[in-house]
Amino acid sequence: MVGFCLVPSREPRIIDRVICPSAVMSQRSVPSEGPPILEIHGAAATIRLCRPSAHNRIDPDDIGVMREQLREIAVRRGVLAVVITGTGDKTFSSGYTVDAIVDRLDHGFEELLDEIEGLPLPTLCALNGSVYGGATDLALCCDFRIGIRGTRMFMPAAKFGLHYYPGGLRRYVKALGASHAKRLFLTAQTVRDTEMLRIGFLTELVERRALAARVTEYIAALEQCEPATVKSMKRQIDAIARGDPGAAQSRKDYEASLKSEHLKSRLASLSRRRS
């Protein structure tokens, strides 16, 4: 695994090289505390939150770091998916620093999450522990969310008197439906692992020891697919989910794929195997 610690206006720093079966999710080379790091291993680019003693909170300066990491991922050839995870075995993330909500009245966190949501590559949130506040929205930015047994979540905005920003409300409604979004936002109730799966917050729920292997299986599955087709279908599915009237009717990418050399090659290969 080659890991990069990215800080705006600085060169990427290689922090370690290790070989392990689940390198996508390895924590052997992770600094104990600090800004998020970017680890690139094969087809997966992993952004790892690195403040376990503070429940992997996201500080204001981390926003620039993570946006720089997204720019680095965009130019890395061979990367097919983005994984977002935390450090340690207790908390995925407690969200954005509470003090910054008042001290920095800007849209930086919301804009970062909008950028992650709009990534052309498939995104996977590997929840290594419980998830709170703005980190629940970070998870909902991702296409797939794999949680571990014992995980809990809650959204305390109403307890603070904070009316949540529009992008987060939209993602909650899109992923969970208005009824579950209201329950979580208006009551600030804690929700446990099986309920998180039932309402659609989690895509899958696994044992802690199985998390790394399941993430690796997702990456391996994506490697078997045509990247351009994955991107175009993700783009159209997202547009349909937003209610774009043209997206549900558009046949442009479908018809282009029918003429692609990749489709012809794969169908020919399948035909040969059957004969």
What total of structural domains would you count in the chain?
A: 2
140 and 25 within one domain:
yes
Run of H or E including 6: none
Q: Residue 27 has what pLDDT? A: 61
Say how far apart CA 229 and CA 244 lie, in whole Å: 20
Domain boundary among 223, 239, 264: 223
9 and 69 within one domain:
yes
Residue 72: pLDDT above 60?
yes
Query: Rounded to two decimals, what is the model's pTM?
Result: 0.87
111 and 205 within one domain:
yes
Which residue segment(s) compose the domain that 260 sits in?
227-274
- Residue that is written with structure tokens 């980190």 in the block: 135
| pLDDT single digits (tens) 53-68 | 999 999 999 999 999 9
126 and 76 within one domain:
yes
Residue 190: pLDDT above 90?
yes
Say how far apart CA 55 and CA 52 lie, in whole Å: 5
Average pLDDT, the chain: 87
For residue 148, the domain's CATH number is 3.90.226.10
196 and 114 within one domain:
yes
Say how far apart CA 239 and CA 149 lie, in whole Å: 32
249 and 211 within one domain:
no
Say how far apart CA 80 and CA 8 lie, in whole Å: 23
| pLDDT single digits (tens) 104-152 | 657 899 999 999 999 999 999 999 999 999 999 999 999 999 999 999 9
